[in-house]
Amino acid sequence: MGIQISPSMLSSDFANLEAEAARIAGADWLHMDVMDNHFVPNLTLGAPVIEALAKVAAQPIDAHLMIADPDRWAPQFVEAGAGSVTFHVEAAAAPVRLAREIRAQGARASMALKPGTAIEPYEDLLPELDMILIMTVEPGFGGQKFLDICLPKIERARDLIDKHGGDIWLQVDGGVSADTIERCAAAGADVFVAGSAVFGADDPDAMISTLRGLAEGHTP
């Protein structure tokens, strides 16, 4: 598995998501930020929007659930058409059971960690996961500045993944841009969520190619 770019639709025009997805044909995934105004102080979209977009977009959906009680709600996002579902370990009551349920329904199971959450206590969960998401900003809002203090955690996550083996992707989300993606790739990340960097560019699809090239040039 090579470098993958998953643009955050949070920075796109919500009035026409189908057209916005078409503008980024080179994207590997469409990253959908689901916020409930409980786990994070913002409210965005839910399963019906993902279901509608999944029917018309060429790219698969990467659903990032920044919500309370993901144990209850995450399966609905698989049913809505998401190919990858990420839950926050800080909010999950039974992360192993939840990851297994997501996988059993046919989607990739991913675990997200906020900047202040260490990866080491969750090492035993790795066999249950298809991806780990390291947040490089505090979740809740797009356009935030990248937190360099998260780079060592990306490196530690990569070491744990390599230690256990298996096809586990390592995603970073928050402040990813042409100025920061090389450091993330050098630390071991291989899936990159970029919102404002992509949709704020004059040519969003060209920016995806630029980001991919920068990351590929700094992969360990």
C-alpha 63/C-alpha 73 separation (Å) is: 12
The CB density around residue 69, as the number of other CB atoms within 10 Å, is: 15
Cα–Cα distances in Å, from 5 out to 8, 29, 192? 10, 7, 5
Contact 39, 69 (CB under 8 A): no
Catalytic positions, please?
33, 173
pLDDT confidence of residue 73: 96
Question: What token pair was written down for 101?
Answer: 């349920």
4-216 maps to which CATH number? 3.20.20.70
Tens of pLDDT along the chain (220 residues) come to: 799 999 999 999 999 999 999 999 999 999 999 999 999 988 899 999 999 999 999 999 999 999 999 999 999 999 999 999 999 999 999 999 999 999 999 999 999 999 999 999 999 999 999 999 999 998 766 667 889 999 999 999 999 999 988 899 999 999 999 999 999 999 999 999 999 999 999 999 999 999 999 999 987 7
Domain edges within the chain? 4-216
- Give the distance, in angstroms, between the CA of residue 106 and the centroid of all CA atoms in the same chain: 18
pLDDT confidence of residue 194: 96
C-alpha 70/C-alpha 92 separation (Å) is: 6
The reported pTM is: 0.95
pLDDT confidence of residue 144: 72
* β partners of residue 135: 173
The CB density around residue 216, as the number of other CB atoms within 10 Å, is: 13
